Structure 1
Amino acid sequence: MSYDNGLIARLDRLRTTARRFPLSLIELGMRLAVGTTFFRSGMNKVQSFDTAITLFREEYRLPLLPPELAAYMGTAVELTAPVLLVFGLFARLGAAALLAMTLTIQFLVYPENWPEHLMWASILAYVLSRGPGALSIDRVLAFNLFGRK
């Protein structure tokens, strides 16, 4: 019986210690993880845009959009939305754009990669619903302009 109490006490101390870790650092880490993934993809498209157009034409095959337009739009989103997300400037807008892109990729391009897409979507939904957190330009602006956290 004392073993169980000792184990429970240790688990409780571990939980208390873990709660001291700043949520703002976790939120920043989540934003960095997703933001860098999409930004790197955008940079790859810029470095070889002809290849990007070929991918949109032959592999991605998005309905309703010509491959050239889809390549330009996708690249633009991948280069702007991650910056908004990572710096936390209009982070919800950046998260919404990347979530829309994630859902497009999931349902129209690579449905077999659902575990990775679920991770991205979960992080983006968190930012969309809760905001980017304390370590963000949005938080600084909200505090300075409106006097709120």
Structure 2
Amino acid sequence: MNPQPLADRITSTFERIPHSLIALLARFSIAAVFWKSGQTKIEGLAIDIVSGQFEFGVPRLASSTLYLFREEYRLPLIPAEVAAVLATFAEHLFPVLLLIGLATRFSALALLLMTLVIQLFVYPDAYPTHGVWATVLLYLMARGPGKISLDLWIARWLRPEGS
């Protein structure tokens, strides 16, 4: 019995998994990782659509955030106060953009750069986790957000008639 036809059918079935489904899952999953991290760094605003936690207010750095950047993260070349604000802002902005599929490739690049900084300077032993993050972000950079995205809607709207 030749197992090749069965293997070919299985492979063919897997190849029919739509890119848009993979991209949507990738966008949601990696956005959640960074969003949840960003949420630990602020007070006054809490949004978790999965758990249903909503607290609307003016966000501000949590008291523990500066301590983390001064004592645990200790990034070179950038003051802890600046790094804390930039990282916290990035962990909120880019996940939202990814989630709605707006500036997806740019947002994925920004979070990939953040991942590299975390890997190189903060948690060098966390390469298995950061490797997964990098893979998801590289996939989104290479393949884009899929059909369920504002990027695609905007591209279609901007495309001249007849092209």
- 1:132 corresponds to: 145
Structure number with higher strand proportion: 2
1:75-114 correspondence to structure 2 within 5 Å: 75-114=88-127
Q: CA deviation at 1:130?
A: 2.5
Deviation at 1:76, TM superposition (A): 0.1
1:22 matches 2:18: yes
User: d(CA) in 1 for partners of 2:120 and 2:27?
Assistant: 23
1:50 partner letter? S
Deviations 1:43-75 (A, max 9, x none): 111137111110100000011222121111110
Mapped partners of 2:113, 2:39: distance in 1: 19
| TM-aligned CA deviation for residue 106 of structure 1 | 0.5
Matches within 5 A, 1:1-149: 2=1, 5=2, 7-47=3-43, 49-146=62-159
How much has 1:129 moved relative to structure 2? 2.5
Three-state SS of the structure 1 residue aligned to 2:145 is coil
- Counterpart residue type for residue 33 of structure 1: S
Q: Distance in 2 between matches of 1:65 and 1:50?
A: 19
SS at match of 1:36: helix
Q: By percentage of residues, which structure has more helix? A: 1
Q: Which moved more, 1:42-51 or 1:132-141?
A: 42-51
Shift of 1:144: 1.7
| Structure 1 ranges of 4+ moved more than 3 A | none
CA apart distance, 1:113: 0.3
* Aligned residues of 2:23 and 2:144 also touching (Cα < 8 A): no
CA contact (8 A) 2:41 2:62 kept: yes
TM-score (norm 1): 0.90
Structure 2 unaligned regions, length at least 5: 44-60
Letter of the structure 2 residue corresponding to residue 144 of structure 1: W
In structure 1, the gaps of 5 or more residues are none
Aligned residue identity for 1:14 = I
